[in-house]
Amino acid sequence: MTSTSDRTAFVHKYGPWAVVAGASEGLGAAFARGLADRGLNLLLLARRADALEAVAAPLRARVDVRTAALDLAAPDLAEQLARVSDGLDVGLCVYNAALSRIGPFLDVPLADKLKIVDVNCRGPLIAAHVFGERLVRRGRGGLLLMSSLTAFWGSPLVATYGATKAFNLSLGEALWYELGPRGVDVLVCCAGATKTPGFERSSGPDGPRAMTPDAVVAEALQALGGPPSAVPGGLNKLAAFVLGRLFPRRRAVALMGSQTARLHARD
């Protein structure tokens, strides 16, 4: 739990409202809980209205929570984000939403790959533009983009997903430099395996060790205002160091492929 003084400072910097895109389960729901714990009112976004309401309902005793069911791949996403957040003093935007398909690149339909790009790249770019303008005008706030360890190397069998996460990492680190002097903290959180519903469905009971969503969120929010990117979890930090610094790149890519192939074999 955060102290009263820490909560007050957090609300002053990143409140009174936070937008969480992709808030219906897993990491998005954990961000909603973590931000409510810190005293921020919430605007939760995802496609499924019923799932959003299940996340929102228990938090309303502590903070004001609004939900908006929308498709983050919609052609008019910028207009929709402006509409649902109209009148709210948004101090923090968390873009957590992501799509992924496990399988050989050529076996995944092109339409599915393009939808992944829409949600994972176009979505955070639009959110960063829409809310970045507002945060700069108010002179303080934050933008947090969820990426992945797959951003650091080519990731066979999740090639499109890994490429989109590399896009998020590059975009967020650049915005950290551009927007920081204007009062806006930007962080890219490069998470490893996380016990989200999607991960548990694909990995099964004997899947790799994974962090809880709440643990990932706690580290991400703690890192906000620091370096441009962060890897939560001691084992994930070790893996990033070993694969990035000690292994030849071809070996790192091959290892990523072999690990993902185990998940694909369970499907």
Q: Of 21, 30, 23, which is closest to residue 74 (Cα–Cα)?
A: 21
Task: Tell me, yes or no, if 95 is annotated catalytic.
Answer: no
Are 92 and 81 a contacting pair, CB within 8 Å?
no
Are 194 and 147 a contacting pair, CB within 8 Å?
no
DSSP 3-state assignment of 120? helix
In this structure, how many other beta carbons lie within 10 angstroms of the beta carbon of residue 251?
A: 12
- Candidate list 14, 95, 161, 195, residue with the active-site label: 161
- Candidate list 95, 113, 165, 195, residue with the active-site label: 165
Task: Tell me, yes or no, if 113 is annotated catalytic.
Answer: no
Q: Of 208, 201, 206, 192, which is closest to residue 258 (Cα–Cα)?
A: 208
First to last CA, the chain: 38
In the sheet that holds 184-191, the strands lie side by side as: 65-69, 41-46, 17-21, 90-95, 141-148, 184-191, 229-230
CA distance 31 to 55: 10
The catalytic residues are 161, 165
